[in-house]
Chains A and B, each alone.
Chain A
Amino acid sequence: MADPMKIRASMSGDKVEVKVLMSHDMETGQRKNSKGETVPAHFIQHVSATHNGKVVLSAQWGPAVSKNPFLSFKFAGGKAGEKVQITWTDNKGEKRSDEATIS
């Protein structure tokens, strides 16, 4: 089971600024372990953010994204007290969703 994300969402002018930290190894599939075996690729492939059931961000990621990735973005139309939900799915089919309230 993947560790929870850290999500902060706050009003910045008339937009909502969302900052997300995800806990993930983001293995590229290029690395080798001490025995010389390839470490299998394991990385987040898809990230989406929804607000009131509407997708405000949808991204395809690859192995070039760092370990424990940090994502920051802004979207219009949100208000304090409403919720933002972030979901990621990786190449092994693991999935994690977390929610934050806009402050």
Chain B
Amino acid sequence: MNRTWETAARAACAALFLSTAGAVAQERTAVEEIERYRQALADGNPAELWEARGEGLWKQKAGPKNASLEQCDLGLGPGVVKGAYAELPRFFADTGKVEDLESRLVTCRMTLQGLTAAEARKDPFGSTGKKVVNDALVAFITSESRGYVMNVKTAHPKEAEAFEIGKKIFFHRGGPYDFACATCHGVDNIRIRLQDLPNLTKKGDAQRAYTSWPAYRVSQGELRTFQWRLEDCFRQQRFPHLEFTSEASVALTLFLAKNANGAPYNAPAIKR
């Protein structure tokens, strides 16, 4: 039911914005009201509960090797968490791959804690009654980069390659709706239901969007990570399932993260 609605809403997007000036003014007020609602909620952002749980999990010994993740190298050296997220995704020499935060955590849980790849990738996203490790760790690590200026590099050839792949995915049209990410996120003033969609081809929008994930989704009562955001965008486009920590998801993340360069990182945030 919900999904059908979304489809209809997307199709109606263009029509809605051809409405009269009065209606547009009213819409703006609604957007401002939602913004006020967000500010009111930010005071007690439940994302802090995930941050606290994540900090505990980071320091807690776990896995067959009974080790904590405190020696995990997030790109700034083993154990350095502060500011690490503002420079991810990046190339890691030990795995020979470009990794984003979530794929790097999978690597660390395998190398440090001795989990198998399947165990480390299992259950990336939480739901009511099911708490998972990934989103809590992401909340903690991202919170340690709050205020750091986004600085994603493409100096390494693999990083430059990932950026180009990410860009291709962003503009690639396909699926039963003949959709691309850019269909919704490459134009100004598009929305789904009441949500304004950022135009990710514009610097300001791209920065505001990327630096506000992960976020606590009030309507779902869960903290949602950036990989979750991408996965759900793929679902909404009726694309094939975007596999958690896949190269495609990392490349797309790198493309979007690099476009946010220069902006101070400001999450975990809170969204409707």
> How far is it, in angstroms, between the C-alpha of A4 and the C-alpha of B49 when the chains are bound?
8
Inter-chain contacts of A4 with B (CB < 8 A): 52
CB 8 Å contact bits of A42-85 with B (1 = contact, 0 = none)? 00000000000000000000000011101010000000000000
Of the candidates B43, B45, B49, the one whose C-beta lies within 8 Å of that of A3 is B49
- CB within 8 Å of A: which of B31-71? 43-46, 48-49, 52-53
B221 CB, nearest partner CB in chain A, Å? 4
CB 8 Å contact bits of B155-192 with A (1 = contact, 0 = none)? 00000000000000000000000000000000000000
Confirm or deny: A19 has a beta carbon within 8 angstroms of a beta carbon on chain B: yes
> Which bucket holds chain B's interface residue count?
10 to 19
Determine if A6 and B221 form an interchain contact, defined as CB atoms under 8 angstroms apart: no
A25/B44 contact (C-beta < 8 A), A6-B49, A6-B52 known: no
Main secondary structure of the interface of A (DSSP, over half): loop
Q: Chain B interface (Cβ within 8 Å of chain A)?
A: 43-46, 48-49, 52-53, 128-129, 221
- CB within 8 Å of B: which of A2-54? 3-4, 6, 19, 21, 23, 25, 27, 39
Determine if B44 and A66 form an interchain contact, defined as CB atoms under 8 angstroms apart: no
Determine if A21 and B128 form an interchain contact, defined as CB atoms under 8 angstroms apart: no
Inter-chain contacts of B46 with A (CB < 8 A): 21, 23, 68, 70
Inter-chain contacts of A66 with B (CB < 8 A): 221
A57 CB, nearest partner CB in chain B, Å? 16
Determine if B129 and A25 form an interchain contact, defined as CB atoms under 8 angstroms apart: yes
